[in-house]
Amino acid sequence: MMAIRNVFLVGPMGAGKTTVGRRLAQSLGWDFLDSDEEVERRTGTRISIIFEIEGESGFRQREHRALLDLSARPGAVIATGGGAVLLPENRELLRRHGIVVYLRTSVAEQLRRTRGSAHRPLLNEGDPEQRLRELARVREPLYEAVADIIVDSPGRKVAATVKDVLDRLADENITARSG
């Protein structure tokens, strides 16, 4: 079996990638990295500001460069942005550098989890539910195509989702770091 370097979490905004990722990394004894946090660290500003100034395409290029660097760090759980799968080069990068876990959730759950967030630039205009449905229509096939593992996360406690991911990773011979 090929040595797995990283675990990547993909899925829509509000799926729990960051929350689940932190707990998953802790359980595995691995580092936790977040591509959105990395972009913000590098630019010194929020993603919503990057969207305002550079648009989505500018953000996606920054996100790609961040993923390139993060994926080179072995033994990490990496939470990706909801749209990271839009670029074919990102999908290839994820496949090449680790195992991909798709945290699948419903639009209703996304709305509940993201309601009132000022840090969701794609939800700042128009009807958020309609926008989430449109994003899901485009992105769900990409999440499914890139995923090695699919875990449903709506309405579940974080601990239950983490346990489900850990069980599925164990099926792939990925376990906690010893020592």
pLDDT per residue as tens digits for the range 38-90: 999 999 999 889 988 999 999 999 999 999 999 998 899 999 999 999 999 99
**Reported confidence tier of residue 4, pLDDT bands at 50, 70, 90:** low
Length reported for the chain: 179
Angle (nearest 5°) at CA 143 between 8 and 130 = 125
pLDDT per residue as tens digits for the range 95-143: 999 999 999 999 888 888 776 555 555 555 667 888 889 999 999 999 9
Kindly report the pTM of this predicted structure.
Answer: 0.89
Domains in the chain, CATH or no CATH each: 6-171 (3.40.50.300)
Please, are residues 93 and 67 in contact by the beta-carbon 8 Å criterion? yes
pLDDT at position 160:
94
**Reported confidence tier of residue 3, pLDDT bands at 50, 70, 90:** low
127: helix, strand or coil: coil
Task: Tell me: pLDDT of 8 over 50.
Answer: yes
Task: Tell me: pLDDT of 92 over 80.
Answer: yes
**Ranges of H-type helices in 29-174:** 35-43, 47-71, 88-97, 107-114, 128-146, 158-171
C-alpha span between 38 and 65 (Å, rounded): 10
Pairing of strands 76-79, 6-10: parallel
Q: How many CB atoms lie within 10 A of CB 128?
A: 18
**Reported confidence tier of residue 2, pLDDT bands at 50, 70, 90:** very low
